[in-house]
């Protein structure tokens, strides 16, 4: 399908690609002028013209593409994609058989051997996410492979690459029979309403499955739970199902109100007995502190970067201060569930934010649980940034008189 071009890798970077690092960095390429069309197969060679790997050219964030194989004779054709997809599906057999969970990741980019491509499963529907124009050039190979490997109700896709700074909005239908939305999927026995035909997001973040279950099963009973940056209220649903005294969901987006009501309703939870607040989370923290509100469980799952009228939030710079705001309104012996999907720092650094925030807030803390990505979000040991999710449950204790 795509022509091959020889791409010379600088001596400083050749070793990391020989050791399995999958992301092609712009600074590693010595002859960028040979790259014109995304989707081109790059034959990576070192300065002695020795073969390193085959990759595809596709701009994504800071990368110029992804390694596909270290075998020089291997062809990047439809059978290559089918082998990768078949192996990935086989690794999820347990999840396909689980009647209590009908939404999970089937193919996780470089963790399953093809960067820039993810495929999610939603109760018989498949959603393909394309993260670069380059990987999209292989869409026929991927669709043919899915057709050969699985039965489906429908396949949808989202093109998550920018065109002139705009995410490409379309209903995304590709094959099968168009769905009636929402699709109701199950996660550990609870229901979620999912929309595959609305913008970039579908209504639930699948990578938090084990975190939600832990909140329901171990932390919610009889507790006042605050869910910030709540999106469609998924954490709140699991807290309510776990017997929370009350949940409070706070998100700036207007759509969060109707979406959260919908998620409560399909789980037979009285949404009027819960608080659903459309407000800037940073304003809400100040309001709650002023009113001396206290919560037994505070869930923090902010985007890596967010901007509102008065606040700009960057996880790498501002997470410590966000934690301090949360600690202020957490009851004594209460639990903060701190989560981030920011790939620019690791778990060790994240725990440093927690330690500093607790010290500056004059509280002691105990880490109760830690989570990274669940098993279906496979990662590559050579690409630590790919394991982006970091979640820490920590319990605080105030000094007497605080």
- Alpha-carbon distance of 106 to 79, in angstroms, equals 18
pTM of the model: 0.96
CATH superfamily of 4-69: PUA domain (2.30.130.10)
Superfamily of domain covering 205-398: Vaccinia Virus protein VP39 (3.40.50.150)
Indicate the CATH number for domain 78-189: 3.30.750.80
> Judging by beta carbons within 10 Å of its beta carbon (0-12, 13-18, 19+), is residue 398 exposed, middle or buried?
middle
Question: Which residues of the chain are in CATH 3.30.750.80 domains?
Answer: 78-189
pLDDT score for 161: 86
Parallel, antiparallel, or unpaired: how do β-strands 295-300 and 190-194 relate?
unpaired
pLDDT number for residue 166: 58
For the chain, which residues score pLDDT lower than 50? none
Q: How far apart are the first and last CA of the chain?
A: 67
Please list, in sequence order, all residues whose beta carbon lies within 8 angstroms of the beta carbon of residue 249, skipping any fewer than 6 positions away.
227, 230, 233, 236, 256, 260, 274, 275, 276, 277
Task: Determine the pLDDT at residue 2.
Answer: 60
Nearest CA among 182, 247, 177, 181 for reference residue 212: 247
Listed in order, the ranges of the chain carrying CATH 3.40.50.150 are 205-398
The pLDDT assigned to 165 comes to 55
Under 8 Å between Cβ of 225 and 218: no
Q: Which residues, listed in sequence order, are joined to residue 29 by a DSSP beta bridge?
A: 9
Say what the pLDDT of residue 168 is: 59
Structure tokens at 166: 């705009």
- Residue 182: cis peptide before it, omega within 30 degrees of 0: yes
Residue identified by tokens 């192996």 is 87
Beta strands in 171-218 (DSSP E): 173-176, 183-187, 190-194
Return the pLDDT at 312. 83
At 360, list the tokens. Answer: 């500056």
The closest of 194, 216, 208 to 266, measured between CA atoms, is 194
Question: Which pLDDT score is estimated for 171?
Answer: 84
CA 366 to each of CA 51, 390, 391, 396: distance values in angstroms, whole numbers, following the listed order: 50, 17, 14, 7
Rounded to whole angstroms, how far apart are CA atoms 375 and 105? 9
- What pLDDT score was predicted for residue 233? 98
Residue range(s) of every CATH 2.30.130.10 domain in the chain: 4-69
């Amino acid at each position: 399908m795509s022509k091959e071009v020889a791409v010379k890798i600088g001596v400083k970077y050749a070793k990391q690609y020989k050791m399995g690092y999958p992301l092609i960095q712009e600074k590693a390429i010595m002859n960028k002028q040979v790259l014109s069309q995304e989707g081109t197969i790059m034959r990576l060679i070192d300065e002695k013209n020795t073969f390193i790997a085959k990759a595809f050219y596709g701009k994504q964030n800071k990368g110029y593409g992804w390694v596909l194989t270290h075998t020089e004779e291997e062809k990047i054709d439809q059978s290559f994609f089918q082998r990768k997809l078949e192996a990935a599906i086989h690794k999820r057999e347990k999840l396909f058989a689980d009647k209590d969970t009908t939404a999970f990741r089937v193919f996780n980019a470089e963790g399953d051997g093809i960067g820039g491509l993810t495929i999610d499963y939603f109760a018989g529907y498949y959603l393909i996410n394309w993260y670069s124009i380059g990987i999209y050039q292989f869409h026929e190979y991927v669709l043919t492979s899915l057709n050969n490997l699985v039965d489906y109700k429908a396949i949808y896709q989202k093109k998550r690459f920018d065109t002139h700074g705009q995410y490409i909005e379309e209903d995304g239908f590709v094959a099968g029979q168009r769905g009636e939305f929402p699709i109701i999927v199950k996660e550990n026995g609870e229901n979620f309403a999912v929309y595959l035909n609305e913008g970039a997001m579908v209504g639930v973040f699948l990578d938090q499955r084990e975190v939600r279950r832990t909140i329901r099963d171990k932390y919610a009973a009889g507790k006042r739970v605050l869910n910030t940056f709540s999106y469609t209220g998924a954490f709140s649903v699991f807290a309510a199902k776990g017997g929370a005294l009350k949940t409070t969901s706070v998100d700036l987006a207007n759509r969060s109100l109707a979406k959260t009501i919908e998620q409560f309703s399909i789980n037979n939870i009285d949404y009027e007995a819960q608080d659903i607040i459309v407000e800037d989370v940073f304003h809400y923290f100040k309001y709650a502190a002023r009113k001396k509100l206290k919560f037994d469980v505070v869930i923090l799952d902010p985007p890596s970067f967010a901007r509102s009228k008065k606040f700009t939030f960057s996880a790498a710079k501002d997470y410590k201060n966000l934690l301090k705001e949360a600690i202020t309104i957490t009851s004594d012996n209460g639990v903060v569930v701190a989560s981030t999907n920011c790939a620019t720092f690791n778990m060790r650094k994240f725990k440093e934010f927690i330690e500093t925030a607790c010290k500056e807030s004059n509280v002691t803390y105990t880490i109760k649980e830690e989570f990274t990505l669940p098993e279906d979000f496979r990662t590559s040991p050579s690409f630590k940034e790919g394991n982006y999710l970091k979640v820490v449950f920590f319990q605080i204790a105030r000094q007497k008189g605080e």
